[in-house]
Amino acid sequence: MPDIPKWRDPLIYLDNNATTPMLPEVKDAIGFILEEGFGNPSSVYQIGNQARVALEKSRGIVARALGALPTEITFTGSGTESDNMALFGATFPYFHKGKNMVISNIEHPAVDLTADWLESFGIECRKAPVLIENDMVLKTPFLDMVDDQTVLVSCMLANNETGLLLPVAELFDEFHARGILCHTDAVQAFGKSRVQVADLNCDLLSISAHKIHGPKGVGALYIKRGTPFNALIHGGAQENSRRPGTENVAGIVGLAAAVERIGEKEDHIRGLRDDFESKLVKFFAEKTIIHHKELPRTPNTSSVGFPGKDGNMLLIQLDQKGICASTGSACHSGALSTNSTLLKMGVPEHIAKGTLRFSFSRLSEVSQVNEVIEVLRKIV
């Protein structure tokens, strides 16, 4: 075992959009495979077959949860990898042919930076601004950006910073009618809101295990049957040659165990989030802004602006009390950066800089809400 420094468990963990603790059932499932099932799923003898059965049963569970076919699910090493595979896989045939792709301007870096990278292969990347009018995300900036050279649109289903749900299904209906492939990054939506591939009308969809109480380093990409797809990784026939490499069977079984439990505590999570926000309004009145409160959003996320305050400082003060929250993007929690989605959506800098994200999970408790409110009353 590496010499890992000991760390103190946080007293209150409200950063579940960054990652989630594994559920006991997930740990049991992973432990079982680690103990009993070391076989390579490609081997023909019995322990290989057992691993293959575990793998395929897990594929069935993930497929059912998304309303997909098992053959449409490819296991990957993360949500980031799923996004990379989707964008590369769909645009590869069009490299240096004058084609373009359209993404929203609030995508996670897994999509945003991959799209930038694809520009070096001659795929122009256009970023549609996410604009709100009458409590709705406007579709027109996306529709105006696609043309007859657009080969792919990628639009996230739920934003990691505010939980905002984008009108992906409506957008994709329009783009499909024009023969454009459609990808959605559902990493933050899956397990929190209903995610069914048929409703979304998508060709490609990414999920990640560690956002739903599964293990880190496991994801999946839905690739609709018949969608032209080119592999990013080469070297074997695993995952139908779409993602070669001996499969992470324990991690995949852990993902499936987590998927089996999604949706179980949605009312509890929503209730905590609503309770937290109503207490914020009560105690801070006009001194706080709850971003995207009136818009469709995931039930677990509160993005709270304390105008004029320094979010990084607040975060450190919360940490001193054993409370974990975040300022900006999930994967940047440690980086203490300015909240970029909010800035891109026109939130003034003095509010964006003073914004904290609290993200709840099925393991969060009412007493934690009250304690965080008390601490905030002292430090803000």
Rounded CA-CA distance 324/343 in Å is: 23
Contacts of 301 (CB under 8 A, 6+ apart): 17, 162, 163, 273, 357, 358, 359, 360
* Contacting range for ligand PLP; rule: CB under 6 A; set: 135-143, 183-191, 231-239, 275-283: 183-191
**Given candidates 219, 251, 311, 354, which one binds ligand PLP under the rule CB under 6 A?**
219
DSSP string, 291-306: TTTTS-B-TTEEEEE-
**Given candidates 110, 137, 280, 325, which one binds ligand PLP under the rule CB under 6 A?**
110
* Contacting range for ligand PLP; rule: CB under 6 A; set: 44-52, 74-82, 118-126, 164-172: 74-82
Check residue 208 for interaction with ligand PLP (CB under 6 A): yes
Contact (Cβ atoms closer than 8 angstroms) between residue 148 and residue 100: no
Rounded CA-CA distance 305/274 in Å is: 16
**Given candidates 113, 331, 336, 363, which one binds ligand PLP under the rule CB under 6 A?**
331
Q: Given the residues 125, 182, 324, 331, select the one marked as catalytic.
A: 331
Contacts of 5 (CB under 8 A, 6+ apart): none
Q: How far is the CB of 157 from ligand PLP (least distance, A)?
A: 8
Rounded CA-CA distance 361/363 in Å is: 5
Shorter beta-carbon distance to ligand PLP: residue 309 or 332: 332
Shorter beta-carbon distance to ligand PLP: residue 101 or 376: 101
Q: What share of the chain is helix, strand, coil (3-state, %, to 5)?
A: 45, 15, 40
Shorter beta-carbon distance to ligand PLP: residue 39 or 79: 79
Check residue 108 for interaction with ligand PLP (CB under 6 A): yes
Shorter beta-carbon distance to ligand PLP: residue 50 or 333: 333
Rounded CA-CA distance 21/4 in Å is: 18
Q: How far is the CB of 317 from ligand PLP (least distance, A)?
A: 24
Q: How far is the CB of 334 from ligand PLP (least distance, A)?
A: 12
Q: How far is the CB of 211 from ligand PLP (least distance, A)?
A: 7
Tokens of 299: 């039930």
Check residue 78 for interaction with ligand PLP (CB under 6 A): yes
Q: Is position 331 annotated as part of the catalytic site?
A: yes
Which residue's structure tokens are 């390579």?
40
Shorter beta-carbon distance to ligand PLP: residue 129 or 271: 129
* Listed residue (64, 24, 53) closest to 257, CA to CA: 24
* Contacting range for ligand PLP; rule: CB under 6 A; set: 72-80, 144-152, 235-243, 315-323: 72-80
Query: How many secondary structure helices (H) and strands (E) does the chain include?
Result: 13, 14
- The 154-173 contact track toward ligand PLP, x by CB under 6 A, reads --x---x-------------
Check residue 188 for interaction with ligand PLP (CB under 6 A): yes
**191 burial level (CB within 10 Å; 0-12, 13-18, 19+):** buried
Name the residue with the smallest CB distance to ligand PLP.
79
Give the helix/strand (H/E) hosting 48.
helix 46-66
Q: How far is the CB of 155 from ligand PLP (least distance, A)?
A: 11
Contact residues for ligand PLP, defined by CB under 6 A: 78-80, 83, 108, 110, 156, 160, 185, 187-188, 208, 210, 219, 330-331
User: Which active-site residues does the annotation give?
Assistant: 331
